[in-house]
Structure formats: structure tokens, C-alpha cells
Structure 1
């Protein structure tokens, strides 16, 4: 009976020891087994794992993608237009041994602090490169700039055991003190462009007007020339008709010419004419009786 009483505590201790030597790693995490602060085992696969009771310590780390929001910093692109920029970063712990050695007991808090410094320096470096202007940062080329920031930051973050998955620039705003000056500079640039466009428009209009005037003068001169030719031909035809008519009956032709002259002379309201009675103009208005008398 006494042996059973001694045996029960021993069995309990053994069971407790076995249970304390077993730990479970979730599929969302990785773990390190530390013995007196030294890494003895790395557990990356989910499931059951073992350690020495009382001697070993299990430290767990996230295996999921983590997020980081950088502080708002000021960058100076190549065109000297300062911008306030911050970023949203996705990263994960790729090497838990390296991560433990780089951050120590600080863990994720220490890693976040160091990663913020890395991201800020790489954002300033890439956005401040020669040829990168504020317009470039705000254009579709922004995606290529974010990829370069990610690649350079990932190279440095690997020393912390981290892998940068993605980087997205969020705010890219002008500082308040520079906004008015930048706005006025943009207005001046647009005014200059508008003035240049108006000058080019006036120049084009002058060329079109000059061409139209030249074409008008050419057409008008050709029309006048053709009109004179037609007029000359008409006068020649008329004179030919008159000559032919005169040749057939000279007296009737003289009579017709006189009537035409009377019609032209007596046009309008004023029909008074002062002429000598002996003028040839009235030859066909005189009666033969009056002439005989």
C-alpha cells in the first residue's frame, strides 16, 4: 500500500514532465526553442513539437503578413518641389533565427522601429534621385518607384530576417508653407503656355489670311481679265452689228441712234434742255412743213 502511495506522485510527475515537454505550433506562427537564451531548435511546420521541461523556453513569432505605416516625412524631388510622403508596408518574418539575433528580446517592437528607419531612408533615396520630379511621383511611373523602394528596402531588411512583400505610397502632398508658392508657379507656367499657344494661333491665322488674300487677288485679277476679254469681244460684235446695220440702211440707223440719244438725255424728272434750235440734235424732231416755211 505504501509503495502505491509513493508510485502515484512519481507517475504524476512523469506525466507532468511529458506534458510540459510537448507544445503545439499553430499554422499561423513559427517558434524557436531557447535554452538559457541560446537557440536550440527552429520549428517552422505546424503541429506537435518537443522541448526539455524547465530548461527550454518556446518563443513564438507570426508567420502571417504584417503591416506597417511609416511616419509622414518630407522628400525633395529633382525639381525641388518638396512633398510630404508616407507609405503602407506589407512584410513578414522570413528567417526567425536571423530575426531573433537582430532584434533580441525586443521582438516585433524592435523590428518595427528599425524597419521604419529603413523605409524612411529608402523612400528619401528613391524619390530624391536625379530625374525623379514631383510630376513623376504623381504620374503612372509611381508604380515603378514603389517597386524600387520595395526592392532596396527588402535588401536591407533581410539583415533583420524580414521580407518586404509590398510598398504603397499613400499621401504625396505639398507642405502647407509651399502650397501657395507652388500654386502661383503652376499658374504662371499655364499662363506662359497659353500665351505661347495664342501667339502660335495668331501666326497661323496670319498665314491663312495672307494666303486667302493672295488667292482672292489672283481670282479677282483673272476675273477682271476675262471680263475685259468678254467685254472687248462683245464690243466688237456690237460694232460689227452696227456696221452691218449701217451698211443696209444708213438713214434708219441714224434715226435709231438719235432716238437712243433722246432717251438717255431725257431720263429722270428734269426734262429741260437749253440748246440752239439749229443744233443737229433736234434734226428728227423738226417737221418737214416747219422746215419748208
Structure 2
């Protein structure tokens, strides 16, 4: 083996050792330097860092805020109306040393399992406490409940080296077995409200109809009264005219009355009369015939 080949092998070995002793810490990460499983140093600042090659290992953890969706949890508020709550949490690895000691080699997967084991009991505890009803959980007032859940979950997650940033309730639903009963109750309430509205509408319609009938009777009665008064005044005036005419010329008045009687008695459909010729009914006819003969 030539000297050049040996030098090249030595150079490659040196480069390999150098590269094995250097690692990069990203600004989104924190790193632990482990030697035979024991923590030797913590690297939290981004940039180049060094370790002993072949002896020490580097374990990196995400330093960003992470999200965890919990499984739906059934809670029972103080009004005994059961609800299924779906929540999510935002958290971060605050202390990598404590985190490594608490979860070991399981990493984030093991940490999230343990964090979910913290969140679900806290959610049931807070939402099931005295004074918390289903209406409170479903209203805008539940922000204070989420703050209480966050505070308690943060305190319980600190031994894991985790910081719980926030806990939010995504959905709040009724259990599947309660949906039919709830829908039936809602339907019955709406039908009762509809029946009340129909009854009130019919009552209002009866009042309007009764008022209209009363107004109709009053108007017809007033019109009949006015017509009777007008008819009476007209009859009185007619009689007065007849009386004045009779007083002015009695013979003419009698003649006029006879003509009216002839007109009513002698019609095209009733022109046959059987009357004594000497009857007074024909006095003016006789007079007309006598005048015509003369």
C-alpha cells in the first residue's frame, strides 16, 4: 500500500470522525446529548454543536407549539343532561430534560398518550362541577370553562416537561342514544307552540269576525232607520200635496183619482169588469160619453 493511499484513508477517517462529532440544532428544535442513555448536555440554541463520536448520541425534540385532538369524552353536567365533548389542546415541550426523564424513549407519541390521559379527566371534572349546566357549556360563557380546563391541565402536565398552551372545545353533541328522545321532545314543543299560535289566530279571527258582524248590523240598522225616515217624510210630503190639491179643486182631485183607478183596473191582462152600469165607478165615463154625444 502506497503512502498516498494511506494518507487518503487517514484523511477520510479524520473527516468521518469530525462529521460524527458535529450536529446541527434547528431553530425549531431542542436537542439532548446522551451518553449511554444518560443526559450529558442540552442544546437549545440553534446552530452547530459537538458531541463525542461513537459514544454520545443526539436526540432532538420539536420546540414548536403542537396540537392534540382528544377522543370524544362523555360528560354529565349538574343538570344531568349528558353531552359528548370533542376537544383539542395546543402544547409544547417546555423542559426537554424533564420530558426525557418522564416519557423515556417513547417520545411525543408516549407524551400525547399521557397528556390525553390528563385532559379527559380534567374536562369531565370541570364540566361536571357544581353550577355548570348543559346550557352553560353550549353558550358563549364556556370560555371561562375552557380557561379552567387549561389551567388545571397545565398544572398536571408540568411533571411531564410539557406546557399546555390552550384547550378548546370543538364540538358538543348529545349521545347517540339520546338524540331520538331529544328530537321527539323538540318536535313536541314545536307542535305545542304551533297549536298555541293557531289557537291565538283563531281567537283573533273570531274577534275580528264578530266586530265585522256587529258593524254590519249597525250599518244596516242605521241605513234602514234613515230610509224609513226618508220614506216617512216623502209620504208626509205626498199627502200634504194631495191635501193641498184636494183643497184647491175637489172636483179635479176626484177626477184624478178616478183616472188612477181606471188605469189600475183596466189592464191588458185584466180588462174584463162585471159592474153595475149605475155604479159610481163609471160617473166620469158617463160624463165623457154624454159630452161626446152632445
TM normalised by structure 2 equals 0.70
Find the residue that maps to 2:86 and give its secondary structure: strand
Flag the 1:179–1:249 CA change in 2: closer, same or farther, 3 A: same
Flag the 1:252–1:78 CA change in 2: closer, same or farther, 3 A: farther
Q: CA deviation digits over 1:192-236, x for unaligned, max 9?
A: 112111111112112222222232233233323322332233223
Kept in 2, the 8 Å contact 1:150–1:164? The answer is no
Q: Partner of 2:43 in structure 1? A: 43
Equivalent residue runs for 1:244-259 within 5 Å: 244-259=244-259
Q: Partner of 2:111 in structure 1? A: 111
Q: Partner of 2:147 in structure 1? A: 151
Task: For residue 87 of structure 1, report the CA deviation from its aligned partner.
Answer: 3.5
Task: For residue 74 of structure 1, report the CA deviation from its aligned partner.
Answer: 2.7
Flag the 1:248–1:113 CA change in 2: closer, same or farther, 3 A: same
Find the residue that maps to 1:64 and give its secondary structure: coil
Flag the 1:118–1:214 CA change in 2: closer, same or farther, 3 A: farther
Q: CA deviation digits over 1:123-175, x for unaligned, max 9?
A: 445655633249x73xxx4x664x45643343234324233456352573541
Q: Partner of 2:3 in structure 1? A: none
Q: Distance in 2 between matches of 1:181 and 1:79?
A: 17
Find the residue that maps to 1:287 and give its secondary structure: helix
Unaligned runs of 5+ in 1: 1-7
Which among 122, 129, 132 is matched to residue 130 of structure 1? 132
Kept in 2, the 8 Å contact 1:65–1:91? The answer is yes
Task: For residue 61 of structure 1, report the CA deviation from its aligned partner.
Answer: 1.0
Q: Partner of 1:287 in structure 2? A: 286
Task: For residue 73 of structure 1, report the CA deviation from its aligned partner.
Answer: 3.0
Q: Distance in 2 between matches of 1:130 and 1:153?
A: 13
Kept in 2, the 8 Å contact 1:122–1:149? The answer is no
Find the residue that maps to 1:58 and give its secondary structure: strand
Task: For residue 289 of structure 1, report the CA deviation from its aligned partner.
Answer: 8.4
Q: Distance in 2 between matches of 1:190 and 1:267?
A: 76
Flag the 1:277–1:9 CA change in 2: closer, same or farther, 3 A: same
Unaligned runs of 5+ in 2: 1-7
Task: For residue 121 of structure 1, report the CA deviation from its aligned partner.
Answer: 3.1
Q: CA deviation digits over 1:104-127, x for unaligned, max 9?
A: 443312321122233323444565
Flag the 1:238–1:193 CA change in 2: closer, same or farther, 3 A: same
Kept in 2, the 8 Å contact 1:70–1:120? The answer is yes
Q: Distance in 2 between matches of 1:77 and 1:279?
A: 113
TM normalised by structure 1 equals 0.70
